[in-house]
Amino acid sequence: MIIPYKSKRTKLELSIQLKFILVQHCRDEELMNTIKDFLKCGNLLSNKETTHFIVSNMTDITNVIIPFFKKYPIMGEKIKDFSD
């Protein structure tokens, strides 16, 4: 996910942040913890219905998330999101 935000540190006063987000039903919180522990990065946010695994650190996205999905390619329509 690419998130634009206002920033006074750039000429256009606009920057972007890249985030990897995986969302599952709250009943799968243990699975999400296992994924977080396996990848050794990211954070979990949970509410009554869902658990979100979020990686926003660019180093983790570049060195952990992208290589993982290159080694274990995504099947189906989500491969288009990854390619973007």
Predicted pLDDT of residue 1:
61
Q: Would the pLDDT of 7 be above 80?
A: no
Would you list the DSSP string of 44-70? Answer: EEE-SSEEEEEE--HHHIIIIIHHHHH
Topology of the domain covering 2-83: Endonuclease I-creI (3.10.28)
Q: What is the CA radius of gyration of the chain?
A: 15
pLDDT in tens, 21-62: 999 999 999 999 999 999 999 999 999 999 999 999 999 999
